[in-house]
Structure 1
Amino acid sequence: MSTTTRVAIVTGASQGIGEALVAGYRKLGYAVVANSRTISESGDPMVLAVAGDIGRPGVGQQLVDAAVARFGRVDTVVNNAGIFIAKPFTEYTDADYDAITGVNSRGFFELTRAAIKTMESQGDGGHVVTISTSLVDQANSQVPSALASLTKGGLNAATRALAVEYASRGIRANAVALGIIRTPMHSPETHEFLSALHPVGHMGDISDVVDGVLYLETAKFVTGEILHVDGGQSAGH
């Protein structure tokens, strides 16, 4: 295929937000490498499904290698895969820490490092988008989640650092900080409580997240931005 087709890598792509992001990038005309621990092959020849745990060493590089082998290049990485465990700080276990930092931090680090190397070698820019949480900006005693803030706060800071470091090479870095999004992981009996956590009085939809990510994809003058798609959570309560 022609290497002029833009190529995106999306992690956590088998369901929910990630699956919708794959569809969104396809509508933009991108080829997509879709990753999650278990993911089915796509009937779309422009979507390459690559199974693997992004929190394990080497998987990030494998995704970039697969993108280059199949589609010839990498233009965008969407670090969507993430683990969120809400519990009192002293109840977190070492296994919780390893799981959360493995996916949220190592996964971001290894995939983004490999992708930026490839973008630099291509010489025509690129984009890194990372999914974060508004709990970094506004902690909530009703949702104790210090490990999310530890990892996602670091990703926000790294996003700004990468934006500045690579601006002169045309590689942008942005993040989308989410409120609570209506997905199957939230059972219906929790919806009233979760909706009340947002100033607007309701949860977000998956389409809201996709709109935010695709805005950043097409906003070529925007880099180093932490875009809040959170129903006003980051502004206060």
Structure 2
Amino acid sequence: MSKPDQRVAVVTGASQGIGAGLVDAYRNLGHAVVATSRGIAPAQDPDLLTVQGDIADPTTAERVIAAALERFGRVDTLVNNAGVFLSKPFHEYTRADYERVTGINVSGFFRISQLAVEQMLRQGGGHIVQITTSLVDHANSATPSVLASLTKGGLQSATKALAIEYAGRGIRSNAVALGVIRTPMHPQEDYDTLGALHPVGRMGEIQDVVDAVLYLDNAPFVTGEILHVDGGQNAGH
């Protein structure tokens, strides 16, 4: 069980990049953390529990929330960070592409969020954060992104719907819509090109995303917000 005043965060897609940054940030704040991804390693920290699994499989979500409750007894924040981005002309997407992207981005959100909401209702409140993409709000012909818009755009709509449905029951729901963030998924030789996609002229950093999530987590009057952390992309070009 967690300490009486210890908050508990669940982070998906937690083995590297933004997810790993969020895990470290929550632990530095003293939160207990349940971190999940397909290849995540066991943790030695007693207040960090790792659960391996594919978040597209609903049984992974069930194992993650069950493990959180067994070890720590509650879930205060769920960060739906796991996601996949596949840029391809719309007519070239395959059925396998569709199933992979919708499986992780949509199914991966759905079941774990249901289970988190059930627990948050029992304990009297909580917070859910979705990580989405600013491309939902500004399509770019240089970056074909129909599957991202379909899935992450759906999450942004779901974020607002959850916020309104549970506003009177102590559960908040927000999203962070990203530009291109400097993570291991982007090769260094692409940094200048990717940076130029943003009005500020650079890529974002993992800490930018962490700061946004933590702001939302500590803003009790903010719910249903889509916070753009995109170097000005959403505002224009």
- Asked if TM exceeds 0.5, the reply is yes
1:58 and 2:52 are equivalent in the alignment:
no
The residue that corresponds to 1:5 in the other structure is 6
The residue that corresponds to 2:109 in the other structure is 108
What is the TM-score normalised by the length of structure 1? 0.98
Q: Contact 1:3–1:71 (CA<8 Å) still a contact in 2?
A: no
CA distance in 2, matches of 1:60, 1:132: 19
CA distance in 2, matches of 1:11, 1:177: 16
Q: Contact 1:3–1:72 (CA<8 Å) still a contact in 2?
A: no
CA distance in 1, matches of 2:53, 2:194: 31
How far is the alpha carbon of 1:130 from its aligned partner?
0.5
5+ long unaligned stretches in structure 2: none
How far is the alpha carbon of 1:28 from its aligned partner?
1.9
Q: Which moved more, 1:4-13 or 1:77-86?
A: 4-13
CA distance in 2, matches of 1:62, 1:236: 42
Q: Counterpart amino acid of 1:216? A: L
The residue that corresponds to 1:177 in the other structure is 177
The residue that corresponds to 1:83 in the other structure is 84
How far is the alpha carbon of 1:3 from its aligned partner?
4.5
Q: Counterpart amino acid of 2:111? A: E
CA distance in 2, matches of 1:60, 1:159: 18
The residue that corresponds to 1:156 in the other structure is 156
CA distance in 1, matches of 2:227, 2:219: 12
CA distance in 2, matches of 1:40, 1:194: 30
Report how many residues are paired.
236
The residue that corresponds to 2:215 in the other structure is 215
How far is the alpha carbon of 1:189 from its aligned partner?
1.5
1:76-112 residue CA offsets vs partner (Å, 9 max, x unmatched): 1000000100111111110010010001000100000
5+ long unaligned stretches in structure 1: none
CA distance in 2, matches of 1:87, 1:3: 49
The residue that corresponds to 1:190 in the other structure is 190
How far is the alpha carbon of 1:57 from its aligned partner?
2.4
Q: Contact 1:175–1:227 (CA<8 Å) still a contact in 2?
A: yes
The residue that corresponds to 2:206 in the other structure is 206
The residue that corresponds to 2:43 in the other structure is 42
CA distance in 1, matches of 2:189, 2:59: 39
CA distance in 1, matches of 2:135, 2:4: 39
Q: Contact 2:180–2:203 (CA<8 Å) still a contact in 1?
A: yes
Q: Contact 1:78–1:129 (CA<8 Å) still a contact in 2?
A: yes
CA distance in 1, matches of 2:176, 2:156: 9
Task: Determine what percentage of the aligned residue pairs are the same residue.
Answer: 64
The residue that corresponds to 2:165 in the other structure is 165
The residue that corresponds to 1:126 in the other structure is 126
The residue that corresponds to 2:31 in the other structure is 30
CA distance in 1, matches of 2:115, 2:49: 18
How far is the alpha carbon of 1:229 from its aligned partner?
0.3
Q: Counterpart amino acid of 1:76? A: T
Q: Contact 2:58–2:112 (CA<8 Å) still a contact in 1?
A: no
